Amino acid sequence: MQRFTATLVAEGSSDHALVPFIEFVLDAHCTIPHVTTFANDLPKGALSERIAQALLLHPCDLLFVHRDADRATVAVREQEIRIAALAAGKDLAVCVIPVRMTEAWLLVDPLAIRRAASNPAGNSDLELPPITRLESRADPKMTLFAALESASGLGSNRLRRFDRHRARRQISGFMEDISMLRQLPSFLHFEAQVQRFFREAAVSIAC
C-alpha cells in the first residue's frame, strides 16, 4: 500500500514534541497511511545545509521546517525557511512557526501537562494563561516549566531532581484533543499550508 512520508527539520532535539501536531494535521488532510520522521541526526550549520542533509537522509513527500518566531514576525521566519529550502533544492516546505516558541503550543492542555509530570490526578493550580493570550506571552517556556513543577506535586527536595525537559518532551504525546490548538493563529497558518498542499496535489492528479 502506498504510504505518504513527511520529514521534520527542527531547531533542536526537544522539538520532537512537534511530531504529534504534524500527525494530527496529516490525519485530517492526508487520505493514505502516513509516517513522520524527525530529522534529529543533522550536523550544526546553516538551515539550508541542515535541510539538504535531512532530504538526503530522510527523503520525503512533504518537508516540514520548524523555526520559533521568537521576536521576529511569522512572515520573516517563513521567508527564511523558504529561502533555505530553495537553496537546498526543495521548492516547497511547510513552515512550522509557533508564536513565540514551541512551548506556547504545549500550554493548551492542563491534563497532558499533569500526565507529563507523572501526577495526572493532581489538582494544583497550574496558572495557565487563556489560549487566546498564549501567543502574547513573552516567555512561554518559563510558564510551561513552572506549570510542570506545580503539576508534579513534588516537595522542594524532590523537585530539584525533577526533569522538566524530559517532561516537556512528553506533553504533546499525552494530548488527546489537539484540535483546541486551532484557536491559535500560528497553528491555523501551519495547518492551512498542509491543507493547501493536499488540495493542490488532488488538482494536479485530476489534471
* Averages of pLDDT over each 10 residues, the chain, 207 residues: 92 94 97 96 93 96 97 95 96 95 96 98 96 93 97 94 96 95 97 96 54
Q: Please indicate, yes or no, if residue 179 is contained in any of the structural domains.
A: no
Residue 167 lies in a domain: yes
93 and 21 housed in the same domain: yes
Residue span of the structural domain in which 61 resides: 4-99+184-206
Whether 25 and 79 map to the same domain: the answer is yes
Do residues 106 and 169 share a domain? Answer: yes
Same domain, 199 and 164: no
On whether both 115 and 199 belong to a single domain, the answer is: no
Question: Residues 135, 67: one domain?
Answer: no
Contact 107, 128 (CB under 8 A): yes
pLDDT at 31: 93
pLDDT of residue 105: 97
pLDDT of residue 207: 33
